[in-house]
Amino acid sequence: MKKKVLYVGLDVHKKTIDVAIAPGRSNGKVRSYGKIDSTIDALNKLIKKLEDGDKQLRFVYEAGPCGYQIYRHLDAKGIECSVVAPSLIPRRSGDRIKTDRRDAINLVRLFRAGNPKQLMAYLGLIPSEHSSGKSVRRGPITKTGNSHVRRALIEAAWTYKMQARVSTILVKRQQGLPKSVCDISWKAQTRLCARYRQLMARGKTKQTVVTAIARELSAFICAIDKEVQFAEQ
């Protein structure tokens, strides 16, 4: 029996952690769980309560002064955890109310949604922007967030200079995967291979083209992640 996914958002401070939870299904209610002490012991007690034998937990929290202690602890226990940059968590225009409880709820809601644009921003694959009045100038990519994942995506993007095809190696790699995931993979291949040729034909530099392909590739990865989550529920 497959475990149900439960998303857990943490607003971490030196002495306390505000916790919000959201079921895997997109229409499930996002709610505040409460406040716990900012200790590993309290975190372990939280994990034990939330797992309840049939839950697969996925944690997320903003990078801050508490560092990566929580991430390392959860990773050692085999629990998925993402650490995001605070500057990349979107805020509604005019929303000036900021509380720890609301931060935790907002964080877990966005994490569950798996918005491709937010993923691109987190990976630093979106262009930097310099605005003055009505003038908007876009520069190089921001290179914020996870540099290791960004580097892997850019390396993978170079393969799309070839023609789209399902090689023998790819067939073996896809054995046992859901058809829906393989369909997304093929759609990514056909789209990105064509996109590579189009951008090169426009006279773009190879590095610019590869970066653009890596950005779009992250959106397909996001789509596959959603598909897998749906299958697990």
**Record: fold of 4-113:** Nucleotidyltransferase; domain 5 (3.30.420)
Collapsing DSSP to helix, strand or coil, 78 comes out as coil
Residues 6+ apart with CB under 8 A from 109: 9, 20, 22, 30
* pLDDT for the residue 96: 41
Are the C-beta atoms of 57 and 79 separated by less than 8 Å? yes
How far apart are alpha carbons 44 and 22 in whole angstroms? Answer: 19
Phi then psi dihedrals of residue 194, to 5 deg: -65, -40
* pLDDT for the residue 46: 94
* pLDDT for the residue 14: 84
Along the 233 residues of the chain, how does pLDDT read in single tens digits?
Answer: 567 888 898 988 888 999 999 887 655 788 899 999 999 999 999 999 998 767 889 898 876 666 678 888 998 999 988 776 554 444 443 444 445 677 777 777 766 666 666 667 666 676 655 554 555 455 566 666 567 778 888 899 999 999 999 889 889 988 888 888 899 999 999 999 999 999 999 999 998 899 889 888 888 887 777 666 555 54
The C-alpha angle with vertex 129 and arms to 120 and 11, in degrees rounded to 5, equals 50
How far apart are alpha carbons 223 and 205 in whole angstroms? Answer: 28
* pLDDT for the residue 108: 72
* pLDDT for the residue 145: 59
Chain CA centroid to CA 88, Å: 11
Are the C-beta atoms of 119 and 222 separated by less than 8 Å? yes
Q: Which helix (H) or strand (E) holds 59?
A: strand 55-62
How far apart are alpha carbons 18 and 6 in whole angstroms? Answer: 16
Q: Where in the chain is the domain with CATH 3.30.420.10?
A: 4-113
* pLDDT for the residue 91: 47
Are the C-beta atoms of 60 and 82 separated by less than 8 Å? yes
Phi then psi dihedrals of residue 179, to 5 deg: -60, -35
Collapsing DSSP to helix, strand or coil, 56 comes out as strand
* pLDDT for the residue 97: 42
Enumerate the H helices of the chain as residue ranges: 40-51, 69-76, 100-113, 116-122, 147-157, 168-173, 179-201, 206-232
